[in-house]
Amino acid sequence: MRLTLLTGSVSGTADMVADAAETRLTDAGLAIARLSGANVEEFLASAPEAILVVTATTGMGEVPDDLLPLQLELNDRFPLLTGIPFGVIALGDSSYDDTFCQGGRDMRNLLLELHARETLPMLELDASETVNQDEDAIPWVVEFVAALGR
Ligand SMILES: Cc1cc2nc3c(=O)[nH]c(=O)nc-3n(C[C@H](O)[C@H](O)[C@H](O)COP(=O)(O)O)c2cc1C
Cα–Cα distances in Å, from 92 out to 28, 42, 129? 27, 27, 10
pLDDT in tens, 105-147: 999 999 999 999 999 999 999 999 999 999 999 999 999 999 9
- pLDDT tens, per residue, the chain with 150 residues: 999 999 999 999 999 999 999 999 999 999 999 999 999 999 999 999 999 999 999 999 999 999 999 999 999 999 999 999 999 999 999 999 999 999 999 999 999 999 999 999 999 999 999 999 999 999 999 999 999 998
Q: Look up the pTM and report it.
A: 0.99
Ligand 1: nearest atom to the Cα of 60: 8
> Is the minimum distance from the CB of 57 to ligand 1 under 6 angstroms?
yes
Q: How far apart are CA 149 and CA 109, in angstroms?
A: 23
pLDDT of the residue at 1: 97
pLDDT at 150: 83
The domain 2-145 is placed in CATH, from the list 3.90.1200.10, 3.50.50.60, 3.40.640.10, 3.40.50.360, at 3.40.50.360
Q: Are 122 and 97 in contact (CB under 8 A)?
A: no
Cα–Cα dist 70/22, whole Å: 20
CB of residue 96 inside a 6 A radius of ligand 1: yes
For the CA of 126, the nearest atom of ligand 1: 21
Q: Is the shortest distance between the CB of 5 and ligand 1 below 6 Å? A: no
- Does the beta carbon of 86 sit less than 6 angstroms from any atom of ligand 1? no
- Which H/E stretch holds residue 2? strand 2-8
Backbone CA torsion sign across 17, 33, 55, 111: negative
